[in-house]
Amino acid sequence: MYQLYGIPNCDTVKKAKRNLESNGIEFEFIDFKKNPPNRELIKRWKLKLGELPVNKRGRTFREVKDIYESSTEPNQVKLLIEKSSLIKRPLLEKNLKPIFIGFNSEDYDQLS
């Protein structure tokens, strides 16, 4: 089964959820607001992305940009945990392996 991480009011997360549901893909939704990510998750996502999974286009990032950019990586990870809206979303995993970060309907349509 897939795990979809995100926040429920995010439009991109909503698109990903609708796509999975319309394609009959079983998934568990993990709400960052109720279940903040931990260091292990963030480091796993970093391995997939090559960098920390930061949503640099969002309002939350603009609010903490200076703090984030002047911090060490451990402090950046801590900030991502404390302010999960900073995390690029949605994040889709299967068997503890990140598959997609962000949403692209063509990619999601290939899932089975």
Per-residue H/E/C for the chain = CEEEEECCCCHHHHHHHHHHHHCCCCEEEEECCCCCCCHHHHHHHHHHHCCCCECCCCHHHHHHHHHHHHCCHHHHHHHHHHCHHHECCCEEEECCEEEEECCCHHHHHCCC
Catalytic residue positions, numbered: 10
